[in-house]
Amino acid sequence: MPYIPNTDRDREEMLRVIGASSVEDLFSAVPAGVRLRGPLEVPGPLSEIELARHVGELAAMNRTAETETSFLGGGFYDHAVPAAVRHVTRLPHFYTAYTPYQAEASQGTLQAIYEFQSLIARLTDMEVANASMYDGATAAAEACLMALDRGSGRRRIVVASTVSPATRAVVRTYLLATGAEIVEVPHARGVTDAAALRDALSGASGLLFQHPNHFGLLEPAAALSAAAREAGALAIASVDPVSLGVLAAPGSYGADIAVGEGQSLGSPMGFGGPLLGFMAAGKKLVRRLPGRIIAATQDASGRRGYVMTLQTREQHIRREKAASNICTNEGLVALAATVYLSLLGKQGFRDLAVQITSKARYAAEALSGVAGVRRAFPGPFFREFVVELPMDARTAADELAKARIWPGTPCAPSFAGMERCLLVSVNEQHTRHDIDSLASALGALIASRRAP
């Protein structure tokens, strides 16, 4: 039982003040049928050894990518995390550090954030990056808010339907209170429909697209950015950071803002979190960036130091003038990304992306070789691709899961008319055996459904 220092006399006095005759009166609004009438029926206390064993048994009930073969993706990926990343992030002076309000007491934390910003800016080929966002979806939504705040009176955001369904849902929620209009542009053969985009961009203040998109396909990113620019709108590119090891960076194809999910940079999937959003832009937009920015400077003696140079949030300036009401940055997860990128280096990062590209291509060919299976969309892709099955994709996924294989993510109901489509994701940890086993299991399942 927790220690509560209230005596019987204390309780009687509190009840008298609030006008209740007993503690039971306080819960009278709760239906009697659902109220607990006695102690909880739980077993007695366990020793430390017994408790550790019991918790271990509970943890063993989890189904994870470490114990089963998973081809799930859609924005969250099971990359190998070097031991050095975990070691650095668990150092007490990082692990217990709080928000760096006082620069003179937070130089280590500030430097780590500065290095993260520098890496993201270099990775995206943009001029400035902030200290990080909650996750990729909120980063995209915050970028849409930036596009609305332009003094032009334009209140329309155009969103490609090939953007992750989760991200689109967060954008809709974010913009609900702004009164902004959100126009979703359909796709043609898996990529943004150029003709529909031109019509939607008229009078728009921003365009959000994903490259590679949710289907893993490469969008015509340069053409999308140019179309937004010609319409007077900001081009917002949501990118998979690992893809930038082999694909052009957002800054090189004219995007105004680059955002994305950084979980794949040194963090495990963690049953859904924590995540890491990143955001970068050109200097002309620096005062509209949400969150905070850390800068390097020199003190009076010429020594290098780090300071929080910009923080456009409502705790520091008038609420109506705040660029965002986001509270803070993902400091520890951003540190993991910083260590991860530093360990891999430029060549190692490219090698990672090349390896994923090679394995994903092999997987696409292997699955396309299964009778009745074909790629749903043509064109180049990175990491992920969609296959169309001769059966319901959800049924196939559920059946293969029984054999400890998670073949991918069913595209329905997020995408109407794609009930037989499966989004398959491949990373560097997949082996040829893993991929061949998936193709074999899927082929056997389809054959069993066809048998009389």
CATH at residue 404: 3.90.1150.10
Can you give the pLDDT at residue 308?
Answer: 85
Residue 71 lies in a domain: no
Phi and psi of 52, rounded to 5°?
A: -60, -40
> Among the residues of 3-157, which ranges form H helices?
8-18, 23-26, 48-59, 83-89, 92-95, 107-124, 136-148
Residue 297 and residue 320 in one domain: yes
What is the enclosing helix (H) or strand (E) of 235?
Answer: strand 234-239
The answer to whether the peptide bond before residue 390 is cis (omega within 30 degrees of 0) is: no
pTM (two decimals):
0.88
The string of pLDDT tens digits covering residues 323-350 is 677 777 888 999 999 999 999 999 999 9
Residue 289 and residue 387 in one domain: no
Residue 5 lies in a domain: no
Can you give the pLDDT at residue 64?
Answer: 87
With a cut of 70, which residues of the chain have pLDDT below it? 1-3, 96-105, 149-152, 312-323, 451-452
Residue 130 and residue 253 in one domain: yes
- Taking a C-beta distance cutoff of 8 angstroms, is the pair 404, 68 a contact? yes
Residue 285 and residue 352 in one domain: no
Residue 420 and residue 305 in one domain: no
Q: Which of 322, 340, 358 is the last residue of a domain?
A: 340
Residue 289 and residue 375 in one domain: no
Residue 249 and residue 359 in one domain: no
| Domain total of the chain | 2
Phi and psi of 91, rounded to 5°?
A: -65, 135
Phi and psi of 172, rounded to 5°?
A: -60, -40
Residue 322 lies in a domain: yes
CATH at residue 209: 3.40.640.10
Residue 18 lies in a domain: no
Can you give the pLDDT at residue 235?
Answer: 98
What is the enclosing helix (H) or strand (E) of 422?
Answer: strand 421-425
Residue 325 and residue 350 in one domain: no
Residue 255 lies in a domain: yes
Q: Which residues is 185 bridged to in the sheet?
A: 160
Q: Which of 340, 358, 384 is the last residue of a domain?
A: 340
Residue 334 and residue 411 in one domain: no
β-pair type (257-261, 234-239): parallel
Can you give the pLDDT at residue 358?
Answer: 98
> What residue type is 207 in one-letter code?
L
The 10 Å Cβ neighbour count of residue 296 is 14
Residue numbers of the domain that contains 422 = 346-450
Can you give the pLDDT at residue 5?
Answer: 83
> What residue type is 100 in one-letter code?
P
d(CA 313, CA 142): 12
Q: Which of 295, 315, 340 is the last residue of a domain?
A: 340
d(CA 174, CA 180): 10
Q: How far is CA 431 from the centre of its chain?
A: 25
